[in-house]
């Protein structure tokens, strides 16, 4: 869907209308303000529950009104963090990269748009950025901050009780996660992936399941892992 932020305009490519993107941004953050422009770059400042960041909109050309790339930037100063923890943080970020410059931690994300503009798609991008901000703040806290405490539903006893997913009995002992019949955690995953509108068939000979999400084709018995016909619930 997106490519890494290149930092400048290139050849003719997909674009989103500036007015539409800014409108969606302000629907999330009514106080978002234009901080400045530099050639094709427009930068908006956002305050989100005590956290400040900027949204950078790169146009195809100065004043074109066509956004080809979207970037995010947050700067954290006065925090103590090791390079090892930054490396660990980068392994958990979704769309961003964290970099230490002097004593300041920069969290940055940049992506190139494709396809026609869709407000829902841009909203997903904003939420992905907020998720990365949460991961960065958790790392800066030295892991002392609790994600559970920050999530109201996780504090509700009824919700905690209902959301329980107990480890299968085969989880204990050697070969944890897999029983003699191929059950355990692997079977738990198989059942979850087959939920909803479709179920997956089994090869009678090898017992392999088909690969979910690809076009199905019939295969001969015993050909090993591959694709089989699917069963659809009515």
Domain ranges of the chain: 3-140, 196-234
Count CB-CB contacts under 10 A for residue 69.
27
Give the 3-state secondary structure of residue 132.
Answer: helix
* CATH classification code of 3-140: 3.30.1460.10
pTM above 0.75, yes or no: no
Count CB-CB contacts under 10 A for residue 27.
12
Give the 3-state secondary structure of residue 184.
Answer: helix
Q: What is the pLDDT of residue 162?
A: 85
β-strand partners of 101:
104
69-121 pLDDT, tens per residue? 999 999 999 888 888 989 999 999 999 999 999 889 999 999 999 889 999 99
With contact defined as beta carbons under 8 Å apart, do 96 and 72 qualify?
A: yes
Q: Distance from first CA to last CA of the chain, Å, rounded?
A: 32
Average pLDDT along the chain: 76
Q: Please give the C-alpha separations between residue 41 and each of 60, 101, 118, in angstroms, as whole numbers.
A: 9, 23, 21
CA dihedral sign, ordered 210, 216, 219, 224: negative
CA 44 to chain centre: 22
219: tokens are: 């295969």
To the nearest whole percent, how much of the chain has pLDDT over 70?
A: 68
């Amino acid at each position: 869907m997106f490519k890494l932020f290149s930092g400048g305009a290139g050849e003719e490519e997909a674009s989103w209308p500036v007015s539409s993107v800014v409108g969606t941004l302000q629907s999330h953050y009514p106080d978002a303000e234009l901080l400045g422009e530099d050639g094709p770059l427009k930068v908006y400042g956002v305050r989100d529950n005590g956290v400040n960041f900027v949204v950078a909109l790169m146009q195809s050309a100065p004043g074109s009104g066509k956004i080809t790339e979207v970037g995010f930037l947050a700067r954290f100063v006065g925090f103590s963090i090791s390079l090892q923890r930054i490396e660990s943080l980068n392994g958990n970020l979704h769309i961003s990269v964290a970099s230490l410059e002097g004593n300041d931690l920069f969290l940055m994300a940049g992506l190139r748009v494709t396809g026609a503009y869709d407000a829902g798609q841009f909203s997903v991008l904003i939420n992905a950025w907020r998720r990365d901000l949460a991961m960065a703040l958790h790392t800066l806290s030295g892991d002392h901050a609790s994600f559970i405490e920050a999530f109201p539903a996780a504090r509700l006893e009824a919700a905690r009780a209902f959301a329980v997913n107990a480890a299968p009995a085969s989880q204990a002992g050697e070969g944890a996660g897999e029983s003699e019949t191929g059950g355990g955690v692997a079977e738990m995953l198989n059942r979850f992936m087959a939920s909803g509108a479709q179920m997956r068939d089994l090869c009678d000979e090898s017992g392999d399941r088909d690969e979910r999400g690809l076009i199905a084709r019939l295969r001969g018995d015993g050909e090993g892992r591959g694709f089989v016909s699917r069963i659809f619930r009515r």
